[in-house]
Amino acid sequence: MSGMRRGLSGSTLKMIAIVTMLVDHIGATVVLRLLMTKAQPEWMITLYQIMRDIGRIAFPIFCFLLIEGFWHTHDRRRYALRLCAFALISEIPFDLAFSGTWLEFSYQNVFFTLLIGLLTIWAMHRVRQRLEGNPLLRTAINIPIAIVGMALAWALRTDYDAKGVLCIVALYLFCDRRWQQLLAGCLAFVWFEPPAVFAFLPIALYNGQRGWKLKYLFYLFYPVHLLVLYLVCAGMGMAGIAVV
């Protein structure tokens, strides 16, 4: 215990993000379909909105952990390939859960957003390394890189699309200045998802430690829980209703 620091470890942040994401997805799949099939009491509409607001906490935490992973991974190429693999693995469960079909290309899962965000900040980091002594030229090159990453997410219609990549870039740019990073993150999210700023309360308590070894928990949980939610909806006779 003497080696532990006060605050929240990376694994604790990951668990917070997973739980809030699960609440959000239950609301977005099961509860929303109930609301769409027939008239429901007012409290269920309120419950749905509360669940979706709780879910806004998840994505900023995943973005923050992506930045931490970028700095601490031993192999960024393998990190990117892992995100790519699970983006592909998760697409069918994602489409089943939200569209009720095996493949639906109008909306892609969040792993694609995280992958594009990772590749964007990786490219920006390479420019930063090569042009450390020339901040003006570095900025002039990194702005188009960020725009390309955002445009790619928008064109592919990934979850959070260009806004998600912009938030990842904002957290990366201030990663060595904690309070500025927290402020940048809040400003990046508040204009389109105000409840998301509450994610920066647990992020502010991050103690820099890894915590439990839960490396693959999110990777596996994401497609599995989406498949389970689809099966729940199918059991209730609502799987064919698209909610995206």
In angstroms, the Cα distances linking 114 to 89, 108, 124, 126 are 14, 11, 15, 18
3-state secondary structure 231-244: HHHHHCCCCCCCCC
pLDDT of residue 40: 85
Give buried/exposed letters for 89-105 (b at 16+ CB in 10 A, else e): bbbbbbbbbbbbeeebe
Q: Percent of the chain scored above 70 by pLDDT?
A: 98
What is the dihedral angle through the alpha carbons of 117, 123, 129, 134, rounded to the nearest 10 degrees?
Answer: -100
In angstroms, the Cα distances linking 234 to 47, 194, 240, 243 are 22, 33, 8, 14
Helix, coil or strand: residue 158: strand
For residue range 63-90, what is the model confidence (pLDDT) as tens digits?
A: 999 999 999 999 999 999 999 999 999 9
Contact 149, 169 (CB under 8 A): yes
Spatial CB neighbours of 148, under 8 Å, sequence gap ≥ 6: 120
Partnered with residue 8 across adjacent β-strands are 206
Report long-range pairs for 124-132 (Cβ below 8 Å, ≥24 apart): 124/169, 124/172, 125/70, 125/172
Q: Where residue 1 falls among pLDDT bands split at 50, 70, 90?
A: very low
pLDDT of residue 2: 42
**Rounded Cα gap, residues 169 and 124, in angstroms:** 9
Amino acid at 127: V
Domain boundaries, the chain: 10-235
Q: Once rounded to an integer, what is the mean pLDDT over residues 158-176?
A: 96
The overall average pLDDT reported for the chain is 94
pLDDT of residue 4: 54
Q: What value does the CA radius of gyration of the chain take, rounded to a whole number of Å? A: 19
Q: Where residue 34 falls among pLDDT bands split at 50, 70, 90?
A: very high
Q: Phi-psi category of 5—alpha, beta or left, where left has phi over 0 and alpha has psi -120 to 50?
A: beta
